[in-house]
Amino acid sequence: MTEPSVGVDQYRGYYVGIKAEDGSVVAGKADNKFGIPYLRASEVYARAAALPAIDVAGIDLHIGSQITELAPFEKAYTLIAELTLQLLAEGHAIRHLDLGGGLGVPYRGDNDIPPHPDEYGAMCKRVLGPLGLKLVLRMDGWRSAPDLFPNVLTALVTAMSIALVSVLVLLRNDMRRRQKAERDLADALAFRKAMEDSLVTGLRARDLQGRTTYVNPAFCEMVGFSAGELLGRGSPAPYLSLIHISEPTRPY
């Protein structure tokens, strides 16, 4: 594909920006604009078609950006339509047109308002539609400053997301503290039980109702009953009947 220039000097300077020595931006002119001049297009396409590794598929066009009226586009596209018919008549298989350049964007309030894309599309259809070729365009949406409601809604969603993440972090930290406390308690209970089970002195614990809640192995060996036979039993204790000793009436 080639990109013919279409007389850039006549289009009010809406072309490739070139910075001058004084800092200003000047438009690309015929002596420095990229692409192939319109009048040389037929010659260049003929040469390209003669090359074995070149497939002449279409025409690319770019007349500049920030254009705020349709007239330059229509004039350029009219020339391209004439060039397309000429190249088709010369036997080139032109299959698509790549329409470069762009509608201007009103970055500031004092900028000119560009035509609506629907108007641009209608113009392209009117000027280039009869050719029956594929049109290649790139459309970038322009957004104005967001309204108050979207801003507030976005802020609320963001705040809720931050709060949710904070709650999840707090829950995770609390769960870790609880798990550590449970592990420490289990270790302490295991140590205490190991210590009590290793004593040679008999130990027994009762609740306020007089029921046996704990006995160590030394106590079981001393009275001749297993822990299963003693735990949960109230007064009188089963071993007292063997030695004829009365159980205290009050828990100690």
pLDDT of 232 reads 86
Contact in structure between 203 and 217 (CB atoms under 8 Å): no
Omega within 30 of 0 (cis) for the link into 236: yes
Q: How far apart are CA 98 and CA 153, in angstroms?
A: 41
pLDDT of 193 reads 83
Q: How far apart are CA 202 and CA 218, in angstroms?
A: 5
pLDDT of 33 reads 63
Q: Quick: pLDDT tens for 59-79.
A: 888 877 778 888 888 888 999
pLDDT of 9 reads 38
Using a CB cutoff of 8 Å and minimum separation of 24, what contacts does 119-126 make? 119/70, 120/70, 120/73, 123/70, 123/73, 123/74, 123/77, 124/77, 124/99
pLDDT of 246 reads 52
The tokens for 23 are 């800092």
Distance of CA 245 to the CA centre of its chain: 81
pLDDT of 169 reads 95
> Looking only at Cα atoms, what is the longest distance across the chain?
131
pLDDT of 114 reads 82
Contact in structure between 64 and 16 (CB atoms under 8 Å): yes
Q: How far apart are CA 58 and CA 125, in angstroms?
A: 17
In degrees and rounded to multiples of 5, residue 73 shows phi and psi of: -60, -45
Distance of CA 115 to the CA centre of its chain: 33
The tokens for 126 are 């009117």
Q: How many CA atoms lie within 13 A of 137 on its CB side?
A: 16
Q: What is the pLDDT along the chain (252 residues), one digit of tens a residue?
A: 444 444 333 333 333 333 344 444 445 556 666 678 878 888 999 998 899 888 888 888 887 777 888 888 888 899 989 999 999 999 998 998 888 777 877 776 666 788 888 898 899 899 999 998 888 877 665 555 555 566 788 888 999 999 999 999 999 999 999 999 999 999 998 988 888 888 888 888 888 888 888 888 888 888 888 888 888 888 777 777 665 555 555 555
pLDDT of 163 reads 94
